[in-house]
Chain A
Amino acid sequence: MSKKVIVVLQQREGKLHRMSREAIAAGQQLAAKVDASVEAILLGSGIQELAKEVAGFGLTTVHVADHEGLGEYTPDAYVEVLEATLAAATPDFVVFPHTYQSVDYFPRLAQALDAGLLPEVTALVDGEGGELNFQRPVLGGKLVATVRVKGEGTVLLSVQSGAFSADEAQPGQAAVESLAFDAPSTSREILGVEAIGGDTIDLSKADVIVAVGRGVGGEDKLEASQQLAQILGADIGASRPVIDAGWLPRDRQIGSSGQTVAPKLYIAIGISGAIQHLVGMKGATTVVAINKDPNAPIFTVSDYGVVGDLHEILPPLVEAVREAKGE
């Protein structure tokens, strides 16, 4: 029997999630490696137009699950529809974008299908004897693990943001088919959506950002970073643990659950560089990282790195910038 890869696409109000295109690219590259065909599943309500758009990718078929019960995302309804569909289709791999929505339900879908589960893939690599291996971050991105799949049956995997380029998604001509399924149900009632408190500061237009991380060591140790920000005319940003600990307000958070920024200069102080932080700042032009760990992943996305204790480096840095600015 020929092999099959299915990509499950995420959309919202008839528009593809940015990472859905990356998932298509990943699905196509995976299919090329294992010599499989690629299909896609699109779920939602009122998505026929979008299905036509998706049909322009290099896929054999786009299966459309268009139902009002799928309009508002709930894990039970999504699992119900996909479980029935995938159990019948018996694909080798099912690829999801590693979004908050996918990760909310696809592990549960794996359990329901008794399938393998491989979250947060960042690369497909050749292993021993040409075996297909996968890479994924572990220990907060401080290490990269190469993993292999064992056993029989379908494997559900998700692909991390930015790991596969959407531009590499191959165009083509896919058939659009409606999926037949029982009306999905959910046990939960969606009450609404709220903006996360205090979005008063818009960092997206900042020219210079001084971002502090857990390595700074405490609310009472922010002063040197704040001084640096002041003489640079920079905005202060932060990684999530700084916000969670209450050292700075929530609207200073940068990353997948915070703001997305693209300054000319981004100075990361005591930030390790977990992917959830990097997705929020990788649009920065020049990145400087100060970190005592020479292996910190933040250095992989930096232009300039200083390895050392930030408490020692910041005071002379403040002075040097002051001088350079002629102040």
Chain B
Amino acid sequence: MRIAVCIKQVPDTEARLRVDTTGRWVNEEDLPFQINESDEHALEEALKIAEARGGEVVVVSLGPSRVKDALRKALAMGAHRAVHLCDEAFDGGDALATARALHAALTRDGQEAFDLVLTGSQSDDVGFGSTGSVLAGHLGWPHAWLVMGIEVAEDGGSARVVREMESGTNEIARVPLPAVLEVQSGINHPRYASLKGIMKAKKKPQELLKAADLGLDATVVGAAGSRIETVSVAFPDSGQGAEMIEGDAATAAATLVQKLQKEARVL
């Protein structure tokens, strides 16, 4: 089975964020980055399927040159090769523009014939929750969002897919393959890259693609090819907000307990 996994590199969820001088995004200098959480789960799922059935796992990522670290980690985890869509023209895309570029990479020259495409459910930075579904639309394949289980049928013609729904239930469906399955965090426990994996990753094929390599006009991808544009970002307005309790740990603890007793009367 040939499986493509779309992974995005995003700021570390623990990172302290600062708004940059344009006011439109965070300052990326000195910011630690990681593979998007649900994408790492998607990669683990792809590796498990390929291990069970044989096959190849190709990781695909669109983003600036820092993304090569994410791809190297994916290769170290066990992906067979990496495709990096790296071109200023791709920057700042909405879900439609990004999916357009990913689609072009996944279908280029007909040389990439995949049986399954896995994505995460939602990116931890822009969080559209949409890119995988739009990609599926371009491919003309079925899709499912918030996937919490994948069992590929023996004949490879379909998969039993568990999809998370609201209110603590899952839906189970048989989905014909090829399909785009958008994996939700928690489906599995992603492996760590072993030392051996890290060594091997250095020799695995990595391809760099620009918009022109994919026959894409710069006006249909990135910010230019998007229908939405960020005007500004800001920290959420604290509204009525919390009453902040000051002091060292001991003082703060004592003050808090007193307030919970006397003001809120919940102790």
* Cα A74 to Cα B173 with chains together (Å): 10
Query: Number of residues in B with C-beta < 8 Å to the partner?
Result: 80
Q: Quick one: which of B229-267 are within 8 Å of A by CB? A: 229-239, 241-245, 249-250, 252-254, 256-261, 264, 266-267
The answer to whether A146 touches B231 (Cβ under 8 A) is: yes
Q: Quick one: which of A114-165 are within 8 Å of B by CB? A: 115-120, 127-128, 133, 136-151, 155
Q: Does B196 lie at the interface of the complex (its beta carbon under 8 Å from any beta carbon of A)?
A: no
Min CB–CB distance A81 → chain B (angstroms): 16
The answer to whether A306 touches B245 (Cβ under 8 A) is: yes
The answer to whether A196 touches B168 (Cβ under 8 A) is: yes
* Cα A288 to Cα B99 with chains together (Å): 41
**CB contact under 8 A between A199 and B168, given known A299-B241, A316-B249:** yes
Q: Quick one: which of B167-209 are within 8 Å of A by CB? A: 168-176, 185-186, 189
The answer to whether A264 touches B266 (Cβ under 8 A) is: yes
* Cα A297 to Cα B239 with chains together (Å): 11
> Is the contact region of chain A dominated by helix, strand, or loop, or is it mixed?
mixed
> Is the contact region of chain B dominated by helix, strand, or loop, or is it mixed?
mixed
* Cα A305 to Cα B240 with chains together (Å): 12
**CB contact under 8 A between A257 and B253, given known A117-B95, A146-B230, A297-B236:** no
Q: Quick one: which of A284-323 are within 8 Å of B by CB? A: 285-289, 293-295, 297, 299-300, 302-309, 312-313, 315-317, 319-321, 323
* Cα A247 to Cα B172 with chains together (Å): 26
Min CB–CB distance A15 → chain B (angstroms): 13
* Cα A306 to Cα B256 with chains together (Å): 8
- Mark each residue of chain A from 87 to 110: 1 if its CB lies under 8 Å from any CB of chain B, else 0: 000000000000111011101101
**CB contact under 8 A between A104 and B145, given known A119-B128, A188-B175, A316-B253:** yes
* Cα A143 to Cα B231 with chains together (Å): 13
* Cα A241 to Cα B129 with chains together (Å): 18
Q: Which B-chain residue is minimally distant from A155 (CB atoms)?
A: B227
Q: Does B144 lie at the interface of the complex (its beta carbon under 8 Å from any beta carbon of A)?
A: yes
* Cα A243 to Cα B163 with chains together (Å): 17
* Cα A288 to Cα B256 with chains together (Å): 9
Q: Does B124 lie at the interface of the complex (its beta carbon under 8 Å from any beta carbon of A)?
A: yes
The answer to whether A108 touches B242 (Cβ under 8 A) is: no
Q: Does B34 lie at the interface of the complex (its beta carbon under 8 Å from any beta carbon of A)?
A: no
The answer to whether A139 touches B124 (Cβ under 8 A) is: yes
Q: Does A282 lie at the interface of the complex (its beta carbon under 8 Å from any beta carbon of B)?
A: no
Contact of A191 among B160, B243, B245, B264 (CB under 8 A): B160
The answer to whether B242 touches A244 (Cβ under 8 A) is: no
**Residues in chain B near residue A316, CB distance under 8 A:** 249-250, 252-254
**Residues in chain B near residue A297, CB distance under 8 A:** 236
- Mark each residue of chain A from 196 to 240: 1 if its CB lies under 8 Å from any CB of chain B, else 0: 100100000000100000100000000000000000100000001
A-B contact pairs, 18 of them (CB 8 A): A100-B166, A103-B130, A111-B138, A117-B95, A119-B95, A119-B128, A143-B233, A150-B229, A194-B169, A256-B166, A285-B266, A286-B264, A300-B237, A304-B243, A304-B256, A305-B243, A309-B249, A313-B253
Query: What are the nearest 6 A-B pairs in CB distance?
Result: A116-B227, A111-B137, A107-B130, A305-B242, A244-B186, A302-B242
